[in-house]
Amino acid sequence: MLILSPDTCDRGTEIPFLSLFEKKAIQIIPPNFLIQGETNPIPHADSVLLFEGGTDISSEFYGQQAGPKTQTADFQRDVHEESYFKMAQQVGASIIGICRGAQLACALSGGSIIQDVGGHGTIHPVEVKHGSGSFVFPTTSSHHQLMNPYVLPPTDWDSFGYAKNVNSGKYRGENNKKIKVFKKWRNWKDQEIVWFKKTRSLAIQGHPEWFEDQRAVFVQYCRFLVNFLILKEKAEKGDEGIQTP
């Protein structure tokens, strides 16, 4: 069961996400379920919740004061999505976070956020390790904040893609103070796609729904990760309503 974004944002952006799933693997919830006066669905173990893009999340989620370049948070949306995230954790549901949603998933999984970073406001390459080598493909991007999973134990998360040859310029935290990420975390890479194991959250900084051609490598890779990390495992556990191709 795919639960579309538990927010009140534009519903039209959500339809492309359906292509990330195998057709027989999901039951689609009507896309207008969170309009006032309607019944909100309750997550179950076989649910997958989608958290989408938008304004910066509240810096309180990652224990910092907001810097001068951090946008004013949508408090109502933050509280609402946080409650849905917690409901998902209680029943063992999975999360897909896109852009803002990825940062939300990172913060609520115990990670942190770099409050301002350059080089991520346009299409740029993402690199993925594969065996002894790697492969590279372009991703869409429009964010000035960045996930920081390095504050977590390395066993709590897996990297499935990081920015390659991106001139990030400077990294800024609260009060516009410079963060020397490469000294603080020696293996630092600008993470673009992260799987948070304990919260079953797939966090994707880019926007696969922005590609008009669904055959784009980034879209196909996201589709693979959704089915491999989320749906396959649910099928192996015998959850009802989930089938793998």
pLDDT, one tens digit per residue, over 36-58 is: 555 567 788 888 888 888 899 99
**Contacts made by residues 210-218, CB under 8 angstroms, sequence distance 24+:** 210/140, 211/140, 214/16, 214/19, 216/137, 217/137, 217/138, 218/126, 218/137, 218/138, 218/139, 218/140
What single-letter amino acid sits at 126?
V
Indicate the pLDDT class of residue 221, thresholds 50, 70 and 90.
very high
> Distance between CA 60 and CA 9 in Å, rounded?
22
Flag whether 243 is in a domain. Answer: no
Is the pLDDT at 174 greater than 60? The verdict is yes
Would you state the pLDDT for residue 225?
93
Flag whether 245 is in a domain. Answer: no
Is the pLDDT at 151 greater than 80? The verdict is yes
Supply the DSSP string of 148-163, one letter for each residue: EGGGS-GGGEEEEEEE
What CATH number does residue 220 fall under?
3.40.50
Q: What is the mean pLDDT of the chain?
A: 83
Would you state the pLDDT for residue 47?
84
Indicate the pLDDT class of residue 70, thresholds 50, 70 and 90.
very high
State the Cα torsion 183-122-113-200 to the nearest 10°: -110
Residues 158/195, Cβ–Cβ less than 8 Å: yes
Residue written as token pair 């410079």 = 178
Flag whether 17 is in a domain. Answer: yes
Residue bearing the bigger pLDDT, 183 or 210: 183
Would you state the pLDDT for residue 160?
96
Would you state the pLDDT for residue 133?
86
Look at residues 142, 54, 59, 141 and name the one whose alpha carbon lies nearest to residue 106.
Answer: 59
What are the φ/ψ torsions at residue 203 (nearest 5 degrees)? -105, 120
> Distance between CA 145 and CA 56 in Å, rounded?
8
Flag whether 242 is in a domain. Answer: no
What is the number of domains present in the chain? 1
What are the residues whose beta carbons fall under 8 Å from the beta carbon of 196, sequence distance 6 or more? 105, 106, 109, 111, 149, 152, 156, 157, 203
Would you state the pLDDT for residue 119?
87
What proportion of the chain, given as a percentage, has pLDDT over 70? 78
Flag whether 244 is in a domain. Answer: no
Indicate the pLDDT class of residue 236, thresholds 50, 70 and 90.
low
Flag whether 200 is in a domain. Answer: yes
b/e 129-156 (16+ beta carbons within 10 angstroms → b): eeeeeeeebebbbebbbbbbbbebeeeb
Is the pLDDT at 112 greater than 80? The verdict is yes
Would you state the pLDDT for residue 39?
58
> 98: domain range?
2-236
**What DSSP element (H or E) covers 101?**
helix 100-108
- 182-202: per-residue pLDDT in tens? 899 988 999 999 999 999 999
Flag whether 241 is in a domain. Answer: no
